[in-house]
């Protein structure tokens, strides 16, 4: 399993878009425009039905990692319609999103479920990307830190210190997802710093190597300044990752180290 991803991380979350035909066309165009990279990590989270198309497209591109957007809290069994960490791994996935806000808010994913999924993901040798973030109401109530720390603790609750250092985090304020409203680099940095502090108390010095990505209306215009902010180690991008040319431009962003 890829233990520590090279930063910066550029992760595309296609959500419920791009079937296999579109995914193949996207990958062909994207891979043409983005030659093999070794100074950043590229991840793509397609729909599970398009996973095979992306896996096939990247067979000669070990620098691109493909993942699934969601898995069930059980690995195998009588759970009609669900995705499994074991099946995802067998199908070529190497990463998984856990606790994306759409899963939490539209599909009722609980903190407890995220903890279980993180455990299963590591057992299946998938890189888990744990998403945390507050709603607008929580932010306005001054509860941002409380919410993200609660989500972080729940997500990591079943992991050992060594395992905690294998995860990737994504801070995605819910009010910034798909809304065109981006957190400022300073806003993002402040919460990333809070998350880093909590990781430090769990994992000590290893916490410095855990990537913390920012997500929420990231686009070509704001990606460079977000990546330049302290403690922002990558981006998780929805809408602006759907167009192959636009996404290619984003992943080629010059990053000040």
Q: Which residues bind ligand PGA (CB under 6 A)?
A: 13, 172, 177-178, 215-218, 236-240
Between 117 and 165, CB nearer to ligand PGA: 117
Q: Which is nearer to ligand PGA, 12 or 164 (CB)?
A: 12
Give me the catalytic one of 100, 102, 109, 192.
100
Shortest approach of ligand PGA to residue 205 CB, angstroms? 29
d(CA 131, CA 148): 9
Report the first-to-last Cα separation within the chain, whole angstroms: 26
CA distance 185 to 179: 17
Say how far apart CA 174 and CA 172 lie, in whole Å.
Answer: 6
Is the CB of 237 or the CB of 251 nearer to ligand PGA? 237
| CB nearer ligand PGA, residue 146 or residue 220 | 220
Least gap, CB of 151 to ligand PGA (angstroms): 15
Instruction: Report how far residue 244's alpha carbon sits from residue 30's, in angstroms, rounded to the nearest whole number.
Output: 5
CB of 29: closest distance to ligand PGA in angstroms? 20
DSSP 145-202: HHHHHHHHHHHHTT--HHHHTT-EEEE--GGGTTSS-PPPHHHHHHHHHHHHHHHHHH
Residue 78 is classified by DSSP as: S
Closest residue to ligand PGA: CB criterion: 238
Q: Which of 102, 109, 134, 172 is catalytic?
A: 172
DSSP-based three-state secondary structure for 116: helix
Cα–Cα distance for residue pair 173/195, rounded to 1 Å? 13
Ramachandran area for residue 72 (φ above 0: left; ψ -120 to 50: alpha; else beta): beta
Task: Indicate the residue among 172 and 231 with the shorter CB distance to ligand PGA.
Answer: 172
Residue with tokens 């399993």: 1
Rounded least distance, CB 12 to ligand PGA, Å: 9
- Known catalytic membership, residue 192: no
Indicate if 18 belongs to the active site.
Answer: no
Closest separation between CB of residue 103 and ligand PGA, Å? 10
What is the C-alpha to C-alpha distance for residues 201 and 50, in angstroms, rounded to an integer?
A: 39
What residues are annotated to the active site?
Answer: 100, 172
């Amino acid at each position: 399993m890829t233990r520590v991803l090279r930063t910066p991380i550029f992760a595309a979350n296609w959500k419920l878009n791009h079937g296999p035909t579109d995914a193949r066309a996207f990958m062909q165009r994207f891979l043409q425009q983005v030659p093999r990279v070794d100074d950043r990590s590229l991840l793509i989270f397609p729909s599970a039905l398009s996973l095979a198309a992306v896996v096939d497209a990247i067979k000669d591109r070990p620098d691109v990692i493909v993942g699934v957007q969601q898995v069930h809290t059980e690995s195998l069994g009588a759970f009609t319609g669900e995705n499994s960490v074991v099946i995802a791994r067998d199908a070529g996935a190497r990463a998984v999103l856990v606790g994306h806000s759409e899963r939490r808010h539209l599909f009722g994913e609980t903190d407890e479920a995220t903890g279980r999924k993180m455990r299963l993901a590591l057992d299946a040798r998938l890189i888990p990307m744990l998403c945390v973030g507050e709603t607008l109401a929580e932010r306005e109530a001054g509860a941002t830190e409380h919410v993200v720390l609660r989500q972080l603790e729940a997500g990591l609750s079943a992991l050992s210190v060594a395992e905690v250092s294998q995860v990737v985090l994504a801070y995605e304020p819910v009010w910034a997802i798909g809304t065109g409203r981006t957190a400022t680099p300073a806003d993002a940095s402040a919460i990333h710093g809070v998350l880093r502090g909590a990781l430090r108390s769990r994992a000590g010095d290893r916490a410095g190597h855990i990537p913390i990505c920012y997500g929420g209306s990231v686009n070509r215009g704001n990606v460079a300044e977000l990546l330049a902010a302290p403690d922002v180690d990558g981006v998780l991008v929805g809408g602006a990752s759907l167009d192959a040319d636009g996404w290619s431009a984003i992943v080629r962003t010059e990053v000040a180290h």
